[in-house]
């Protein structure tokens, strides 16, 4: 009997975790630039990278150690948007260039991603 209760609790916890882990990252209070970046990210990048940059089945999470500033400085973002990215870290395929996103817009997108990263211990 006890065991049954325990199993039920574990099952519920497991289901909660699966449900949550989709977006189980800390969302910080965003600066003004970060908020503008979040909007630009939602309309240009989220299809593949997810609303909170946690990844989808089309693209990787950017809130990930691989993309910490030392490994992928801001220049990598401008390059990715302008020239696309040949698949090298993951197996989602290539990232195509994203036309129509200005340099200033990428600056805001970078602010958003860096704020998410910092809030999740990636710096």
- Interface with ligand HEC by CB under 6 A: which residues? 44-45, 47-49, 58-60, 72, 76-77, 80-81, 85, 87-90, 92-93, 95-96, 98, 101, 109
- Pairwise CA distance, residues 76 & 80, whole Å: 6
**Judged by CB, which is closer to ligand HEC: 12, or 65?**
65
Smaller CB separation from ligand HEC, 10 or 102 = 102
To which residue do tokens 């801001």 refer? 74
- Please report how close the Cβ of residue 110 comes to ligand HEC at its closest, in angstroms: 8
Smallest separation, CB 105 to ligand HEC (Å): 8
Lookup result for tokens 């910080």: 28
Token pair of 61, please? 């999470």
Sign of the alpha-carbon dihedral angle for 76, 80, 85, 89: positive
């Amino acid at each position: 009997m006890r065991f049954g209760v325990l199993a039920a609790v574990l099952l519920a916890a497991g289901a909660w975790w699966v449900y949550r882990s989709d977006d189980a990252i800390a969302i910080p209070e965003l600066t003004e630039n970060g908020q503008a970046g979040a909007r630009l990210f939602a309309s240009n990048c989220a299809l593949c990278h997810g609303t909170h940059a946690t990844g989808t089945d089309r693209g990787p999470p950017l809130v990930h150690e691989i993309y910490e500033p030392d490994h992928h400085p801001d220049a990598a973002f401008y390059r990715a948007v302008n020239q696309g990215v040949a698949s090298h870290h993951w197996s989602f395929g290539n990232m195509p260039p994203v036309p129509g996103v200005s340099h200033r817009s990428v600056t805001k997108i970078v602010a958003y991603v860096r704020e998410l990263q910092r809030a999740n211990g990636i710096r």
